[in-house]
Amino acid sequence: MLLFFAQNSFAAENNLQMFNNFSNTSGRAFDNKTEKQILNSFVEKPLSNKMSIGAITQLSRVDSKSVNYRDAYAINSLEFFNRYKIFSHEKLGVTMHNAFKLPGVYKENKYLGLMQQQPDYELRFLFAYNMSDRLVNTITRNETPYFGRAEIAYRRRFSNPFDEARFTFWGGFKINQDFSFLFQDNITWNLVRATDASNNSNTNLGTFNATKNANNMATLSLMYHLNKDTALQFGYVKRLSGNAPFYDSRGVLVGLWNSF
């Protein structure tokens, strides 16, 4: 009996986990109105109770009614990461996350918010409270009355005018067996300002001027739990603060969360 319980617990924590969401947002890019349709995909494969690997992919369509009715399609990022849990005690856990992003695939155009392509490296620490498992399992199984996860990160943006400091918060609250709330807040600070336009290799982006103010995007979602391994997401996205020259203002999203 004990062996059976241990095997089930290990399988629950080490299954393939992923979510895909599709959003439609509106915003601005250098004083031009933009609309975006974004497909975001996250997949994580645990290798053990402490270690995992994964990938994040983002595809988008962007159009601007202010620049000759242009539109563009982009693979904004293909990012690979590994994670290792460095601390765990009762309801607390700390995980270290290393990630490398390949340059995006698109034609640079600042008026669509498609900025200079470059690889990124990110070091992130995840601080979890009341989460006995990874994020996707915690959400789909809907067994925890509430949980929180705070993330802090430094992102080195090679060949870009600025690096970034990032803060992300995830919070969940169980309504009943079928429904729960999921809140996500993403805050980004630009850390390095371009000192000379010649530092930017693309003349079309030569007037780019990074802001030092924090840009804050929040998402509130209602999760509908189909079963212990699958949940649907219905969310609203809102920009809370910041004055970056390109940003999303508000939008809606739908998503599918799965454990396999």
Domain ranges in the chain? Answer: 2-259
Strands, E assignment, the chain: 17-29, 32-46, 51-64, 70-89, 92-102, 120-129, 146-157, 164-174, 179-190, 215-227, 230-241, 246-259
What is the C-alpha to C-alpha distance for residues 162 and 80, in angstroms, rounded to an integer?
A: 21
pLDDT score, position 234:
98
Q: Lowest-confidence range among 21-25, 31-35, 62-66, 85-89?
A: 62-66
What is the C-alpha to C-alpha distance for residues 101 and 124, in angstroms, rounded to an integer?
A: 14
Report the relative pairing of strands 120-129 and 146-157 from DSSP bridges.
antiparallel
Report, as an integer, the average pLDDT of 247-260: 95
3-class DSSP state of 13? helix
Which fold does the domain 2-259 belong to in CATH? Lipocalin (2.40.128)
Longest dimension (CA), the chain: 68
Q: Where are the alpha helices (DSSP H) in 107-189?
A: 135-141
How does residue 205 score in pLDDT terms, banded at 50, 70 and 90? Answer: low
How does residue 2 score in pLDDT terms, banded at 50, 70 and 90? Answer: very low
Q: In this model, does residue 201 exceed pLDDT 60? A: no
pLDDT score, position 1:
40
Q: How many residues does the chain have?
A: 260
What is the C-alpha to C-alpha distance for residues 86 and 258, in angstroms, rounded to an integer?
A: 25
133 vs 245, residue with greater confidence: 133
Burial class from Cβ neighbours inside 10 Å (0-12, 13-18, 19+) for residue 4 reads exposed
